[in-house]
Amino acid sequence: MDSPRQSDASTPLEPCSPVGVDTPATQSSVLFDGHLEELLRNFPLDQYILVTGGLGFIGSHTTLELLKANYNVIVIDNLSNSFQNVFDRIQTLASQYHEQQGTKTPSLHLHAHDYRDTVALRDLLQQYQITSRWGTLKSKISGVIHFAAYKAVEESIRNPLKYYSNNVSGLVDFAMTLGDFGIKTFVFSSSATVYGTLATSGLPLKEELCVHKEELFTEHSGSEKIVQSGCTGITNPYGRTKWICEAILADLAASDPEWTIVALRYFNPIGCDESGLLGEDPRQTPTNLLPVVVKVMTGQYKELQMFGTDWETEDGTAVRDFIHVTDLARGHIAALSTANDGKLVENFRTFNLGTGTGHSVREVVETMESVSSKHIPRKAAGRRAGDVGSCVAVATRSQDELQWKTEKTLKDACVSLCNFLDVSGLSS
Ligand code: UD1
């Protein structure tokens, strides 16, 4: 292991708290009330979750939900596609929540460097090492959620090596360093994009359609079929990086049973925290549907182009499984606690995070119009390259094995986005 070095790039905004500071005194009269386990779960213990890309769209919402669920969080984010003020907003919302609950807000630290900066990473991980009562070193970091990655499909086609370098090589080095520090519970941001053109095949998108070792798969009809590892028809380099990363992590888990790895395949995350304080606020020009709709609503874009009105769907526009980002964020917490409780059915497991229900592009626009009472100018346009007509999750595995399901609706997501526009002063 490298010797610890101070890194300029690592800038914790808050000093790391010494062991025990975040652990409140426990009153014995409360403990013997018969709910010891639950009480302990609800106290911020001196355990941390490391979140890479924790200030991005999904990362920031997950960080907030982790804090609400009493996890201490360390964020690594190089601010390449996010803003520093998101950190303050997460802190504010978490404090407000815990004040209302009468509970102590867990700690949140930011390390503003690239997750690939191995020197800074080792330095950070050293800070969270403690000596166990048997004299061995162990980490206070009990799990990692890895969001940091590039995700612009079109850019990945123009510059694939940038994507393979950051998303794939970065992951390999990151996992190696984590392993050196004995941190082996890992939640990976994957995507429904791994299903590629299977999305148009009409088959229900079950996790078994894309596996990393030979598996027995029970079909819709009840008959059993052996599926080989691999994937069919991934349409772009970004999607391939997600599939390759999953494959690497599956190999890692197979090689070492101490690793517990979950790959979460996101469908289409939309909306924002209901406070309107955390929106989707990328530095890059948005291409996803809802961020573009928001640009049209604020007058920054003249109209929405509806890409494809001739798909084989009810109204001709494409259908997606839009999932509220707060539901998605909570899916990570379900994954983490299932992994840490040792309840995963195998030590590498993939899960779809979706609602199981599709909505069309037209339906989304109309819902937003009804919630905002605003007309959203749009016009029909040709199909966008690489698009599929329909992509909807089968969400049963995550319901059964993670005890997680979505609670929020498309309308909730549209309301939250209107709150975001109000809070940002963009709604007029
Ligand atoms: C995109 C990514 C996918 C990623 C997912 C989640 C592509 C090809 N795929 O999926 O890899 O995992 O986001 O973030 O970019 N639409 C319009 N007008 C617009 C923008 C979008 O009609 O201005 C349509 C699209 O053509 C599509 C639907 O809205 O039919 C959803 O598009 P988008 O939000 O970009 O998500 P996906 O393409 O499903």
Per-position DSSP letters for 288-307, written without gaps between them? SHHHHHHHHHTTSSS-EEEE
Find the catalytic residue in 48, 128, 150, 238.
Answer: 238
pLDDT at 221 (0 to 100): 78
Token reading at 383: 């199909």
Residues 206-233 pLDDT 10s:
999 999 998 888 777 788 888 888 887 8
Nearest CA among 50, 49, 37, 42 for reference residue 77: 50
The pLDDT value given to residue 231: 81
Nearest to 45 by CA among 72, 84, 14, 8: 72
Termini Cα distance of the chain: 56
| pLDDT > 90? residue 61 | yes
Instruction: For residue 290, give the ligand 1 atom closest to its CA.
Output: 34
Active site residue 238: yes
The residue whose C-alpha atom lies closest to atom 27 belonging to ligand 1 is 318
Confidence of residue 82 (pLDDT cuts 50, 70, 90): confident
Ramachandran bin of 53, using left for φ above 0, alpha for ψ from -120 to 50, beta for the remaining angles: left
| 304-312: average pLDDT | 96
Which atom of ligand 1 is the closest one to the Cα of 154? Answer: 15
Whole-number Å distance, alpha carbon 287 to ligand 1 midpoint, is 7
Write out residues with Cβ below 6 Å of ligand 1.
153, 191, 193, 238-239, 268, 287-289, 292, 304-308, 318, 320, 361, 384, 386-387, 391
By alpha-carbon position, which residue is closest to atom 6 of ligand 1?
A: 268
Ligand 1, atom 22, lies closest to the CA of 306
User: Which CB contacts under 8 angstroms, 24+ apart, belong to 127-130?
Assistant: 127/12, 127/16, 128/16, 128/48, 128/74, 129/181, 130/19
pLDDT at residue 38, rounded to an integer: 55
pLDDT category of residue 34 using cuts at 50, 70 and 90: very low
* Average pLDDT of every residue of the chain: 88
Pick the atom of ligand 1 nearest to 388's CA.
30
Interval between CA 289 and ligand 1 midpoint (Å) = 6
Q: Ligand 1, residues 387, 390, 392: which to mutate, most atoms within 8 A of Cβ? A: 387
Residue 327 tokens read as: 């539901």
CA of 343 to the centre of ligand 1 (A): 34
Residues 325-363: tens digit of each pLDDT: 999 999 999 999 999 999 999 999 999 999 999 999 999
> Which pLDDT band, with edges at 50, 70 and 90, does 24 fall under?
very low
